[in-house]
Chains A and B, each alone.
Chain A
Amino acid sequence: MEKKNGLWSIFTRGIVKENPVLRLILGICPALAVTTSAMNGLGMGVATTLVLMGSTIAISLMRNAIPDRVRIPVFIVTIAGFTTVVQFLIQAFAPALNAALGIFLPLIAVNCVLFARAEMFAVKNKVFPTILDALGMGIGFTAALTMLGSIREFLGAGSLFDIPLTAHLIDPMLIMILPPGGFFIFGLLVALSNKLDKRPQSERSSGCAGCPSRVTCKNFETAKETAAEEVKA
C-alpha cells in the first residue's frame, strides 16, 4: 500500500505541486515563446513530453552502466538524439505544428526540464517510477503551456484553439501575443500559483539540483533542501 502511494505521488507531483514551469521555473524559454496560441502550447507540451519520456527511460535503463564522469555528456547526447527523432516525426506527421514551433523544436534539446529530471530522478531510479515521473512532469508542462497559450490567445486574438470567440466583437489586445504579453501573463500565473501554494517557502522545492545554472541562481538554497528530501524519500 505504501509503495502504491509512493508511485502515485511520483506521478502527480509533476502535475501540480512541482509543476516544472510554474513552480520549479524550468523550461521557460519555450513556455514564453510558443504560447501565442493554445494549440501551439499544447503541441509544444506534447513534443517535449515525448522527448522527456524517451530520454529518461533510456537513461534509467543505462543508469548502472553510465560512468559518473561522463554523466552530463551522456545526458546531452541522449536528449539531443531523442529531440531530433521527435523533430522528424513531427515534420513528417504534423507539419503545421512544425511550422508553428519553428526553432523551438530543436531547442527542446537544451530544455532544463529534461536535464533536471535526468539528473534528479532517471539516473537514480528504476524504469517504471521514471516513466511515471516523466509522464507527470510532461503533463504538468503541457498543462502549464496550454493554459498560458489559451489565456494569451484569448486576450490577444479573441479566439481559443483557433475558434473565434470574441474576435469579431471586441478588438483583441495584440500585445498579449507579443513578447511583453508572454512575460506578463506568465508572471501573473506564477503569482497565482504562489498564492495557491499554502506551504511555507522553505518547504517548496525546486528542480535546481539538475540545472547547471544553480551556482548563480537565487533558488539554490531551496535546492539543497530538495536534495535532502529526495534522499529521505
Chain B
Amino acid sequence: MQAIITILIAGLFTDNFVLSKFLGVCPFLGVSKRLDTAVGMGAAVAFVMVVATAITYPLHAWLLLPLGLGYLQTILFIIVIASTVQLIEIFLKRYIPPLYNALGVFLPLMTTNCAIMGVTILHFTTGLTYFEAMINAFAGGVGFLLAMVLFAGVRSRLEGNDIPKSLEGMPITLIAAAIMSMSFLGFVGLADGLFS
C-alpha cells in the first residue's frame, strides 16, 4: 500500500512529469495558453499514457524480453504508441463523439510527445510491476493535467502585463515555468512527512 501511495504522490507532485522530469515540455509550453486547450491536452495525455502503458508493458515484458528481443523496445514502443493514438482517434470519432470533440485535435500530437514514450520506457528502467506501472501512468497523466491547468491560470494572468520586448512570448513563459517548477520542489517534503 505504501508503494502505491508513493507512486501516486510522485506522479502527481514531486516527480511531476513536466515540471521535474522534463517530459512533455513541448505541449506544456505550446498548449497551455488557454484553459480549455490546457484541459483538453492534459486529459488526452493522461488517457493515452494509461492506454499506452497497458499495451506496451505486456508487449515488452512478456514478448520481447523472453525472446531476447529487448533491443527492439524503442522501435516497437513508438510504433505501438503511434498506432494506438490513431486507433483511439478513430474509435472516439465513431463511438464517443462528445469525447472526440473535446480531445480529438490533441491526439495526433501524442506521437511525438516525449512524456508518453518516456513513461512507457521508465516503467522498465525503474523495475515496476504491471499494476504499479498502470498506477504510475495514471498518476503521471493526472500530474501532467494538473501542471497544465495551473500553468494556464498563470499564463492568463501574464497576458495583461507589460513585458519587456525581448522577453515576450517564449522567454517569459519559460521563466514562469521555472517558478512553478520551484514551487513543486516543495512537495518533496510531503512524501518525507508521510513516512516518517
Contacts and interface: CB of A to CB of B under 8 A. Distances in A.
Contacts of B82: 72-73, 76
Interface residues of A, number: 49
Contacts of B73: 106
Interface stretch (B4-12, B87-95, B133-141, B172-180): B172-180
B108 A180 contact: no
Contact of A213 (B30, B122, B175): B30
Contacts, number: 148
B78 A179 contact: no
A154 interface: no
A interface SS class = helix
Contacts of B174: 183-184, 186-187, 190
B2 interface: no
Given A103-B118, A178-B185, A32 B22 contact: yes
A191 B72 CA distance: 40
B19 interface: yes
Interface string B16-43: 0001111111110111010001000100
B interface SS class = helix
Contact of A32 (B25, B79, B165, B167): B25
27 contacts: A33-B21, A72-B111, A73-B79, A76-B79, A77-B79, A88-B71, A106-B73, A107-B114, A107-B117, A109-B75, A110-B111, A110-B114, A179-B21, A179-B181, A183-B175, A184-B178, A187-B167, A187-B178, A191-B167, A194-B165, A211-B26, A212-B108, A212-B111, A213-B112, A216-B30, A216-B37, A216-B41
Closest 10 CB pairs of A and B: A187-B174, A183-B178, A191-B171, A33-B22, A184-B178, A195-B166, A180-B182, A180-B181, A80-B75, A187-B175
Given A110-B113, A212-B112, 5 more contacts: A28-B29, A33-B21, A80-B79, A179-B19, A181-B178
